[in-house]
């Protein structure tokens, strides 16, 4: 594995939540080019070392987020107030997915699922700004 790819993979593994390409790039000290980050992320996903999904959030717009692949497929919750992710743990959709697969005669190769709303921390602060609201790049948080 090349240096750039290894660096991108460790960034994903070190993170406690999915990272966008920009998020990965900002964590790479020996900065490598953004095109390389994108290519590395593609490569890691194809190699089964990372999983990704596309999510829209008011603060960051539409971006693809990557997480290092764990032993089991996982899903995430995204807080629309603090813009952090909460790990929802192992996927529980197996039953529903195979049910739908059977009922509709499909061959499902992949599924995407994520929840959005307000996390416990932010809910506790009664709709105000959470304790860590300092992560955005692009404004627009109404």
Partner DNA sequence: GTACATTTGCGAATCATTCGCATTATTGTC
Partner DNA sequence: GACAATAATGCGAATGATTCGCAAATGTAC
Residues near DNA, by CB under 7 A: 1-5, 20-22, 32-36, 38-40, 42-43, 54, 60-64, 137-138, 140
100-109 b/e with 16+ CB inside 10 Å = b? eeeeeeeeee
Site for a copy of itself in 40-69 (CB under 8 A): 54-56, 62, 64
Decide if residue 73 touches a copy of itself (CB under 8 A).
Answer: no
CB of 42 to a copy of itself, least distance (A): 12
CB of 29 to a copy of itself, least distance (A): 29
As to burial, measured by CB atoms within 10 angstroms (0-12 exposed, 13-18 middle, 19+ buried), residue 42 is middle
DSSP state of 91: -
CB of 11 to DNA, least distance (A): 13
Do the bridges between strand 50-57 and strand 74-79 make them parallel or antiparallel, or are there none, so unpaired?
unpaired
């Amino acid at each position: 594995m090349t240096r750039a790819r290894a660096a991108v993979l460790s960034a994903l593994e070190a993170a406690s939540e999915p990272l966008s390409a920009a998020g990965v790039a900002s964590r790479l000290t020996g900065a490598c080019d953004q095109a390389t980050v994108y290519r590395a992320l593609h490569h890691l996903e194809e190699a089964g070392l990372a999983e990704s999904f596309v999510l829209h959030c008011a603060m960051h717009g539409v971006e693809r987020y990557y997480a290092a692949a764990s032993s089991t497929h996982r899903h995430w919750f995204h807080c629309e107030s603090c813009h952090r992710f909460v790990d929802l743990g192992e996927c529980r959709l197996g039953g529903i997915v195979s049910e739908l697969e059977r009922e509709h005669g499909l061959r499902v190769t992949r599924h995407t699922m994520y929840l959005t709303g307000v996390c416990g921390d932010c809910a506790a602060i009664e709709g105000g700004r959470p304790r860590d609201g300092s992560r955005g790049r692009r404004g627009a948080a109404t």
